[in-house]
A and B are shown apart, each in its own frame.
Chain A
Amino acid sequence: MNVIDLAWWELAIAASMVVALAITSTLARLNVGKPILIAAARTVIQLSLIGLVLEALFAVGSFHWVALMATVMLLVAGREVMARQKHRLTGGWAFGIGTVSMFISGFTVTILTLTVVIGPDPWYTPQYAIPLLGMLLGNTMTGVALSLDRLTEAVWRQRAVIENRLMLGQSWQDAIGDFRREAMRSGMMPMINSMAAAGIVSLPGMMTGQILGGSPPSVAVKYQILVMFTITVGSGFGAIVAVSAGSRRLFDERERLRIDRLSSARA
């Protein structure tokens, strides 16, 4: 099956439907007309740019450029994790913990999958490495951001409970244990849910894309399963690492709850 390429004017038709939606929401005074258009424009610009970057990257295919691309993706994801938290650890720790935990889980899983499971030659072949890492980082980011936000939010609200448990002689791990487990769980729930619903409620985007791109569904399905497993593992371990490091940072060497290490909520 040949892939039907899309002409730019064909995309313009789809764009005109977005404009119609923006006009309708403006008329209905939903106050999302402008955001829709801005977000749509960003999609076009960002994806076109990344298309150029990927074409160049695929043409060169050298390890250094793949590594550079991966680093940039990681740093952007780290910034995003930080931005999604209401009460964040101050002094660069929010960015640091988010980035390091995504690095540990995301990169480990990607490299393992590339070398052991898929096995392209060389293992860093950008056609495989970059999309895999992208999907993994995107979802790990969600898991890490969710779990860290849950943790800091719970500690902020429930600091009196944690301190009272400390007063009764509990170790910091016991005093924060409930909140830590709850935060880790909330980081994993989205992936557990999407694994359970995959194929019945939703056709996963990657599989859809691959089928549209001309792959036989049986191959697309296998890749989808692989990707969902790796995403689950990546975001799960990412949440565990991030919450462990984050909760450690909330206490000092004398096991005091250091609420002053969290920034107050922004408006």
Chain B
Amino acid sequence: MALTIHALSIGALKDIDLIVQPGEIVCLSGESGSGKSRFLRAIADLEPHEGEVHLGKTNRCDFPAHEWRKRVMLVPAESQWWADAVKDHFCKPMPQALASLGFGEGAMDWSVARLSSGEKQRLAAARALSCGPEALLLDEPTANLDDENTEQFERWISEEIARTAMPVIWVAHDEAQMKRVGNRHFRIKGDHLEPVT
């Protein structure tokens, strides 16, 4: 199902229109403070704003807010972990995902206190997918990862996106990464999105 954003305004951004096709990855970049994260938060309906968003043919307002966020899932740059064990945060076990991301067996039983920032970031993505979203909003998902882990992550998430045909908006700042994973690329310029070719 496509993710259709219509006339969305939040912060400096005004009247943004964007259609993300099923399985398509749209990369979004911009200077810090340009409103990339708030744009994602608006789509996930976490902040008051103007505009409409559709998933397929269904208007966002026709879902209860938490149902919408379960379908259109935002993975924040800095994830939060509130329970003691990693597994308490997952909707269902994700053994294959964890293996693809380089975690051994037993990672689900780890205490969250021992997670490094890189581990948190990869597990946060796996956790999001465990809840079965239909669209993904990724906010700098590899910011805390080294090159090897970044490559591993990109491979895994690309496969997942292709398999589930989710529309994805991926906020990034690394040009090379955007070339690797993105189908299209926009940069935030003042109050609008500018296509980058």
Binding site for B on A (CB under 8 A): 160-161, 163-172, 178, 252, 254-257
Given known contacts A168-B73, A169-B69, A161 and B64 CB-to-CB distance under 8 angstroms: no
B76 at the interface (CB under 8 A from A): yes
Q: State A234–B29 Cα separation when bound (angstroms).
A: 55
Known A170-B66, A256-B46; 11 more pairs at CB < 8 Å: A161-B80, A161-B82, A163-B46, A164-B76, A167-B74, A167-B76, A168-B69, A168-B89, A168-B131, A171-B64, A256-B47
- Kindly list chain A residues whose C-beta atoms are within 8 Å of the C-beta of B91: 168
The listed residue with most A CB atoms (<10 A of its CB), out of B44, B47, B64, B82, is: B82
The answer to whether B64 touches A178, judged by C-beta atoms less than 8 angstroms apart, is no
Given known contacts A167-B75, A168-B73, A168-B128, A255 and B82 CB-to-CB distance under 8 angstroms: no
Q: State A256–B38 Cα separation when bound (angstroms).
A: 14
Q: Which of A161, A168, A178, A254 contacts B65 (CB 8 A)?
A: A254
Given known contacts A172-B66, A255-B66, A256-B65, A167 and B78 CB-to-CB distance under 8 angstroms: no
Given known contacts A172-B66, A255-B66, A167 and B48 CB-to-CB distance under 8 angstroms: no
CB of B75 to closest CB in A, whole Å: 7
The listed residue with most B CB atoms (<10 A of its CB), out of A166, A168, A170, A255, is: A168
- Kindly list chain A residues whose C-beta atoms are within 8 Å of the C-beta of B74: 167
- Kindly list chain A residues whose C-beta atoms are within 8 Å of the C-beta of B48: 252, 256
Q: State A164–B69 Cα separation when bound (angstroms).
A: 11
Q: State A168–B89 Cα separation when bound (angstroms).
A: 9
- Kindly list chain B residues whose C-beta atoms are within 8 Å of the C-beta of A161: 80, 82
The answer to whether B67 touches A169, judged by C-beta atoms less than 8 angstroms apart, is yes
CB of B99 to closest CB in A, whole Å: 22
Q: Which of B45, B71, B79 contacts A164 (CB 8 A)?
A: B79
CB of B80 to closest CB in A, whole Å: 4
Q: State A160–B78 Cα separation when bound (angstroms).
A: 9
Q: Which of B44, B64, B82, B133 contacts A165 (CB 8 A)?
A: B82
- Kindly list chain B residues whose C-beta atoms are within 8 Å of the C-beta of A171: 64, 66
Q: State A67–B69 Cα separation when bound (angstroms).
A: 49
The answer to whether A167 touches B69, judged by C-beta atoms less than 8 angstroms apart, is yes
- Of the A-B pairs whose beta carbons lie under 8 Å apart in the complex, a sample of 30, sorted by A's number, is A161-B82, A163-B46, A163-B76, A164-B76, A164-B79, A164-B80, A164-B82, A165-B82, A166-B46, A166-B69, A167-B44, A167-B46, A167-B73, A167-B74, A167-B75, A167-B76, A168-B69, A168-B70, A168-B91, A168-B127, A168-B128, A169-B67, A169-B70, A169-B71, A178-B82, A252-B48, A256-B46, A256-B47, A256-B48, A257-B46
